Amino acid sequence: MTQIAGPYVPQARTVRRRPSQAELRALTAAMPTARHTAYDNYNVQTQVVARSTESTYIISDHPELTSSQTISVAEGQRVAELQEEHLRGRDVVVIDGYIGNDPEFRCPARLVIDQAWANIAGMQDHLLFQDDSVGDDFSPWFTVVYTPGLTAPGYPKERLIAVDLEAGVTRVLNSDYFGESKKGLLRMWNKLVYERGGLALHAGCKVIPTGKGDRTLLIVGLSGTGKTTTTFTRQNDSKPVQDDFVALMPGGRVYGTENGCFAKTYALSAEDEPTIHAAVTSPIAYLENVSQKEVDGPVDFFDESYTQNGRAVFPMSALGWSKDAREAAAVSALLILNRNDGIIPAVARLSVEQAATYFMLGETKGTAAGGAAEAGRSLRVPGTNPFFPLLHAQQGNRFRELHESGGFEVFLLNTGSVGGDDKDPRAKKVRIGHSSAVVKAIAEGTITWERDPDFGYEVATTVPGIDDEELLRPRLLYGRQGREAEHQQVVERLRRERRQYLEGFPGVDQRLLAALQDR
């Protein structure tokens, strides 16, 4: 594999190193796919509208060491040479910065990308932390080399994301979706965190003031399940710390990763999510695949005719209020989001024995963020982290260790509906206001609980701010509607499928399987 270490810069036609945001904005404005909006920012329409899971491979001659698909080291070398040859005839932008801002934990990172896709460089620059004292000898631990205009014949859709964990290099071919840059760096960072004794979580982080002091909450969930919304809604003047990835370490210590936010914009409402809406419509934001009828005009966050996976990137400073991860106390509670449409309650409290099990199950409904193959499907993604590059059993086992050392509570939150999907008139939607009330009550410790007879976790009998008990205990809704038999069938199916799923991960702690019988 072509190694990238030290102050690597490709042998390109021209190289623009560490351009300013003003330069990146000007380069973006010149892109034929970029449209100026009424908010004085730019909206780029891409050909690829979601991450390309089917085209992502770990480079390794030892496929038994990862749960992901692999290609050989020799094939990785061939791809590297192909990409380097392509770059020799291109104008290139190099973005440098850090994943995280804690001097003891931060990781130097670099993006190398064809200048014709400057919006990706601008978006990544917003997310990386900067250090003005860094000179030309900057040595990245992780590098993403990005060539959207280079195809990869023989791979799905002639697209390839080749991940060399040993060299710290991800090579992206034939995708112009920004998420491959962001996730390319964080995927490699996942491995580093694990090696340091922690676990990278696909999670937001927020700090909520209460009468008993500040409470640090982690919100774990797949893209599109409400992770960003839950992180940025305000309870007791809470402040967001991180939007998408954190490192959870022994004792509940948390480290942040990004200096900005990669927000999903579909159905973004100024009324329901004023903070995110204001940041997205600020001049400093970059938009991607948001519906826009005319140049210089407004965008339509509710139009899904091109994709539901419209996105925006903005720096945390655009919010006007946030909290530095270095100031956050140890984790008080961890929330696992499940956008469901069946018998999952708005909130459930998990026992110590159940927490790692439900974390490993990673159940939810897929969204457009995972591509058309995932949208609307019932999914199980271990840790709700599709970017963990090692064996998935390692996630569940490590989470159990960290939970035992941290002593934080773990909750399951349904951000979808109970009793059916959006088209079912019998169903009830768990709305943003409901979830916000749950988060506030978790922080303040004001929920009353009872044991659920089907799954053994605790369900809420009262939550301040929620007056619909059927959202809290779905079996009541099914009983009132005469659907008891349907409810029982779902219970039995989930018990069976969950056990079969966990049994499919060699090396998983057997206590995770035993917890499924805790009822």
Number of Cα atoms under 13 Å in the Cβ half of residue 433: 8
Do 123 and 228 sit in the same domain of this protein?
no
Span 430-449, average pLDDT: 97
Lookup result for tokens 């900057």? 138
Q: What is the pLDDT of residues 375-386, one digit of tens each?
A: 566 889 999 999
Residue 261 has pLDDT above 60, yes or no: yes
Residue 205 has pLDDT above 90, yes or no: yes
pLDDT at 366 (0 to 100): 55
Q: What is the pLDDT of residues 357-367, one digit of tens each?
A: 999 999 987 55
pLDDT at 5 (0 to 100): 44
pLDDT at 518 (0 to 100): 59
Do 107 and 223 sit in the same domain of this protein?
no
Give the type of residue at 113: I
Do 182 and 206 sit in the same domain of this protein?
no
Span 462-478, average pLDDT: 98
Residue 55 has pLDDT above 80, yes or no: yes
pLDDT at 367 (0 to 100): 55
CATH code at 76?
3.40.449.10
Contacts 24+ apart (CB under 8 A), 275-283: 275/232, 275/234, 275/319, 275/321, 276/228, 276/229, 276/232, 278/318, 278/319, 279/312, 279/314, 279/318, 279/319, 280/312, 280/314, 281/39, 281/41, 282/39, 282/41, 282/314, 282/318, 283/39, 283/40, 283/41
- Report helix angle 21-29 to 118-127, nearest 10: 150
Do 119 and 246 sit in the same domain of this protein?
no
3-state secondary structure 269-335: CCCCCHHHHHHHCCCCCEEECCEECCCCCCEECCCCCCCCCCEEEEEHHHHCCCCCHHHCCCEEEEE
Do 110 and 153 sit in the same domain of this protein?
yes
Q: Which of 163, 196, 229 is the last residue of a domain?
A: 196
Percent of the residues in the chain that have a pLDDT greater than 70, as a whole number: 96
Cα separation, 211 vs 213, whole angstroms: 6
The CA dihedral of 494, 498, 499, 500, to the nearest 10 degrees, is 100
Lookup result for tokens 């982690």? 218
Q: How many domains does the chain have?
A: 2
pLDDT at 368 (0 to 100): 52
Q: What is the pLDDT of residues 266-315, one digit of tens each?
A: 999 999 899 999 999 999 999 999 999 999 999 999 999 999 999 999 99
pLDDT at 517 (0 to 100): 73
Span 425-445, average pLDDT: 97
pLDDT at 1 (0 to 100): 34
Cα separation, 395 vs 388, whole angstroms: 8
Residue 443 has pLDDT above 50, yes or no: yes
Radius of gyration of the chain (CA): 23
Residue 399 has pLDDT above 70, yes or no: yes
Residue 276 included in any domain:
no
Do 225 and 119 sit in the same domain of this protein?
no
Cα separation, 57 vs 50, whole angstroms: 16
CATH code at 447?
3.90.228.20
Q: What is the pLDDT of residues 93-136, one digit of tens each?
A: 999 999 999 999 999 999 999 999 999 999 999 999 998 877 77
pLDDT at 320 (0 to 100): 86
pLDDT at 58 (0 to 100): 98
Residue 105 included in any domain:
yes
Residue 16 has pLDDT above 80, yes or no: yes
Span 423-439, average pLDDT: 96
Do 106 and 224 sit in the same domain of this protein?
no
pLDDT at 373 (0 to 100): 56
Q: Which of 166, 196, 226 is the last residue of a domain?
A: 196
How are beta strands 107-114 and 142-147 bridged, if at all?
parallel
Span 206-234, average pLDDT: 94
Tokens coding 393: 């059993």
Residue 100 included in any domain:
yes
Residue 277 included in any domain:
no
Task: Give the residue from 416, 415, 461, 421 showing the smallest Cα distance to 441.
Answer: 461
Look up the pTM and report it.
Answer: 0.93
| Paired residues of 108 in beta bridges | 98
Cα separation, 254 vs 260, whole angstroms: 17
Residue 273 included in any domain:
no
Percent of the residues in the chain that have a pLDDT greater than 90, as a whole number: 89
Lookup result for tokens 């999914």? 379
Residue 3 has pLDDT above 60, yes or no: no
Task: Give the residue from 75, 447, 434, 109 showing the smallest Cα distance to 245.
Answer: 109
Q: Which of 151, 172, 196 is the last residue of a domain?
A: 196
Residue 38 included in any domain:
yes
Q: What is the mean pLDDT of the chain?
A: 94
Do 185 and 246 sit in the same domain of this protein?
no
Residue 303 included in any domain:
no
3-state secondary structure 425-469: CCCEECCHHHHHHHHHHHHHCCCEEEECCCCCCEEEEEECCECCH
Close Cβ partners of 113 (under 8 Å, ≥ 6 residues apart): 92, 93, 95, 120, 121, 144, 145, 146, 147, 148, 181
Residue 370 has pLDDT above 70, yes or no: no
Do 212 and 191 sit in the same domain of this protein?
no
End-to-end, the C-alpha distance of the chain in Å comes to: 51
Residue 134 included in any domain:
yes
Close Cβ partners of 61 (under 8 Å, ≥ 6 residues apart): 72, 73
| Maximum C-alpha span of the chain | 70
Do 428 and 458 sit in the same domain of this protein?
yes
Instruction: Give the number of other CB atoms < 10 A from CB of residue 456.
Output: 17
Give the type of residue at 183: K
Span 247-253, average pLDDT: 97
Contact 220, 335 (CB under 8 A): yes
Contact 34, 117 (CB under 8 A): no
Angle (nearest 5°) at CA 211 between 210 and 215: 30
Given strand 160-164, what is the order of strands in its sheet? 14-17, 91-99, 107-114, 142-147, 169-173, 160-164, 56-59, 70-71
pLDDT at 245 (0 to 100): 97
Do 423 and 463 sit in the same domain of this protein?
yes
Do 227 and 123 sit in the same domain of this protein?
no
Tokens coding 463: 């939550």
Domain that holds residue 35: 14-196
